[in-house]
Amino acid sequence: LKKIAVVTSGGDAPGMNAAIRAITRLANLNKIEVTGFERGWEGILTNTHKPLTSRSVGGIIQQGGTMLRTARCTEFMQSSGVKQAAQILADHKTEALIVIGGDGSFKGAYDLSKQTDIKIIGIPATIDNDVFGTDETIGFDTAVNTAQTEIDKVRDTALSHERTFVVEVMGRKRGFLASAVGLAVGAEIILVPEVKHQDSRIYQKLKENTAKGKKSSIIVAAEGTGDTRTLAEQITKNTGMEARLTVLGYVQRGGSPTARSRILASLFAEKAIELLTQDKVNRIATFQRGRIGSIDLEKSCRTEKSLDTDLLELAEKLAT
Ligand code: F6P
């Protein structure tokens, strides 16, 4: 193996840079040249790239975002785009491609794997933590901690003003972030897209809390659970409580990665290079039950990761 390429794709996640750094340095130690394609799949389609060297990836381990930049590329979703990308990579004479991203990026990677002999390895990085086969993705821990820090501040106002807060966290389709954050901040109610909720149950729960002597509550809602502004307004209308909304938004995607995200990025990178040097390809690096491993790219793409409802049940018990 002499020449590999790296790309970051989909939503950025803190720790992507730590992964780029580790891939480059480990590859260089193995005398492998590394090219970084810029702006995700778009950079492959437009043949926009730059060489990555052990020196050029210096000073980025502590930075959020991705120095290769990223994009959500719709063109790539069409088979003509995938074919074009396969050709450009072949012309570039790269022998392998490491894709750092989430499930959407891996679906693209899988489509590409069917059109090319280039070896493909995925490194899971998304704050949504929704990649099948790994308990954790790069950036998830950072996003959980960022949201926790912000919600702790909201809690101060909730307690002081005896208010109810709806805090919207990211997660358009999945509730991994909302579940972890909700448990960590002691949320009274956690709403996730996977579990349908009835607004009337929320009002009832809040009233029960008041009867138990709770003077304020925090509802952590994943963005995919519906219109949180309306929810806050309806809570005020139906319970008489003073409810407010805080949308955390993109602060959750940025910022310096936590130690955990950086370490996971470094370990995933090590696994990726190991897989390539052992000629095990079309796989993604994983972290399961405390161990780094790998699973088939196709399996990961075709299987939906299930949400651990135990966390939700525990959070509910602890919010009594
Ligand atoms: O990175 C994942 C995610 O944060 C989702 O939870 C969210 O729905 C989405 O990205 C929004 O990001 P964008 O505006 O980049 O599409």
- Reported as a single tens digit per residue, the pLDDT across 233-252 is 999 999 999 999 999 999 99
Residue 174 Cα to ligand 1 midpoint, Å, equals 11
What per-residue string of b and e applies to 215-245 under the rule 16 or more CB within 10 Å gives b? ebbbbbbbbbbbebeebbebbeebbebebbb
pLDDT for res 74? 79
Active site residues: 128
Does 68 have pLDDT greater than 90? Answer: yes
- Could you say which DSSP state residue 258 is in? P
Average pLDDT for residues 173-189, to the nearest whole number? 98
Does 75 have pLDDT greater than 80? Answer: no
Does 77 have pLDDT greater than 80? Answer: no
Please tell me the number of Cα atoms within 13 Å of 139 on its side-chain side.
32
> With bands split at pLDDT 50, 70 and 90, how would you rate the model's confidence at 76?
confident
If one residue of 9, 39, 72, 128 were mutated to test the ligand 1 pocket, choosing by the most ligand atoms within 8 A of its CB, it would be 128
| Residue corresponding to tokens 């260089």 | 28
Does 26 have pLDDT greater than 80? Answer: yes
Average pLDDT for residues 274-294, to the nearest whole number? 98
Instruction: Give the predicted TM-score (pTM) of the model.
Output: 0.97
- Could you say which DSSP state residue 58 is in? T
> With bands split at pLDDT 50, 70 and 90, how would you rate the model's confidence at 225?
very high
The percentage of the chain sitting over the pLDDT mark of 70, rounded to a whole number, equals 100
Residue 186 Cα to ligand 1 midpoint, Å, equals 24
pLDDT for res 170? 98
CA-CA distance, 102 to 12, in Å (whole number)?
9
Average pLDDT for residues 101-109, to the nearest whole number? 96
pLDDT for res 103? 95
Does 15 have pLDDT greater than 90? Answer: yes
* Contact between 173 and 193 (Cβ < 8 Å): yes
170 in ligand 1 pocket by Cβ < 6 Å? yes
Average pLDDT for residues 121-147, to the nearest whole number? 98
Query: What's the whole-number average pLDDT of the chain?
Result: 97
Residue 136 Cα to ligand 1 midpoint, Å, equals 17
pLDDT for res 271? 98
If one residue of 177, 228, 253 were mutated to test the ligand 1 pocket, choosing by the most ligand atoms within 8 A of its CB, it would be 253
CA-CA distance, 68 to 37, in Å (whole number)?
7
188 in ligand 1 pocket by Cβ < 6 Å? no
Closest residue to atom 15 of ligand 1, CA basis? 11
Provide the strand spans (E) within the chain. Answer: 3-8, 33-37, 49-52, 96-101, 119-124, 164-169, 189-191, 217-222, 243-247, 283-288, 291-296
The percentage of the chain sitting over the pLDDT mark of 90, rounded to a whole number, equals 97
172 in ligand 1 pocket by Cβ < 6 Å? yes
Closest residue to atom 14 of ligand 1, CA basis? 11
Residue 30 Cα to ligand 1 midpoint, Å, equals 35
Closest residue to atom 6 of ligand 1, CA basis? 171
pLDDT for res 78? 86
pLDDT for res 208? 96
Looking at the DSSP bridge assignments, the partners of residue 293 are 286
Longest dimension (CA), the chain: 69
Which atom of ligand 1 is closest in space to residue 177's alpha carbon?
6
**Each residue's pLDDT tens digit, 247-282:** 999 999 999 999 999 999 999 999 999 999 999 999
Residue 130 Cα to ligand 1 midpoint, Å, equals 12
169 in ligand 1 pocket by Cβ < 6 Å? no
